Amino acid sequence: MNVDNDSAMQKLERPITFEMADDLQPAEMVSSKGLRFSITNLLNNSYQENLLSEGDISGLLIKSVSYAMDKRFVSEKDYLNSDKVLSIAQSQACTSNMLFALYNSLVLLYREPSIGFNELAALISNYNSNVELENILESRNVLKPYCFMDDFLAKFHEKPFVFPFWSTRYDSIYSIFRSLLRNHPVLVRVNGKIYFNDDNRKAEHYVVLVGLRYGKALTIDSSVDGFIHYCPLGTFLYSMASDFFATVCAWDLSLLL
């Protein structure tokens, strides 16, 4: 991914058009429904017990731990006073910690991303402002903050063809497992209250799934000390699919490779 600030701002100065957003709703339903169904199927079938308790897909773990120790990832705790940087505060207000999860994903993919953390914050903040403006002008609320991820992947992917923006999400947990087997990280939306088993946490939370190991989901989490978080796999899967009225989202970051 070759992103400089000027080209990035130009590409994402206007969000997905409302004509495309009309197509997003049925596409969201298909991908979200498929992912939710596959997770429920996995959790409810006894023949998958070995995968849930003994599976080992941890090819990214050493790299993730190394980057965490070298402090390459960005921590939310370093930006507790993010009001000093308006774009960071605005991006957190509209998308929770998506900014941190996406940037840490780019670090894992590229080691030194061609777009800086503050520039990415400005992209998300400006995108959300334009979304809100278009929603007001069109008198409807079609676009959601996490549509930024669809637009980002659709516009900056490295594939030699036009990629539909709504095809940037996984529609099956098994597709996610296959991606991990290829050492491709996956950006995932989870319910933070379930993920952390803590009602004081925000429900909207984003993490980078980097592997599975002996009944644990391994994630890069910008909100925890040391970045590497081990969540019981059953809990992690449930945190992905438990919000019945929320979209189940996991994005295909391999599009950027």
**pLDDT at residue 47, rounded to an integer:** 66
**pLDDT at residue 83, rounded to an integer:** 60
**pLDDT at residue 23, rounded to an integer:** 65
**pLDDT at residue 129, rounded to an integer:** 81
User: What distance in Å separates the CA atoms of residue 209 and residue 110, rounded to the nearest whole number?
Assistant: 16
Pairing of strands 228-232, 250-252: unpaired
User: What distance in Å separates the CA atoms of residue 21 and residue 77, rounded to the nearest whole number?
Assistant: 34
**pLDDT at residue 173, rounded to an integer:** 95
Q: What number of other Cβ atoms are within 10 A of residue 205's Cβ?
A: 23
**pLDDT at residue 163, rounded to an integer:** 57
pLDDT tens for the 257 residues of the chain, in order: 555 545 555 556 556 665 666 666 777 778 888 999 999 999 888 666 677 777 788 899 999 999 999 999 999 999 887 566 788 888 888 889 999 999 999 999 999 998 999 999 988 988 888 777 766 666 666 667 678 888 888 777 766 665 565 678 899 999 999 999 999 999 999 999 999 999 999 999 999 999 999 889 999 999 999 999 999 999 999 999 987 767 889 999 998 88
Nearest to 165 by CA among 144, 185, 184, 149: 149
DSSP-assigned states of every residue in 20-72: HHHHHHHHHHHHHHHHHHHHHHHHH-GGGHHHHHH-EE-TTHHHHHHHHHTT-
**pLDDT at residue 141, rounded to an integer:** 61
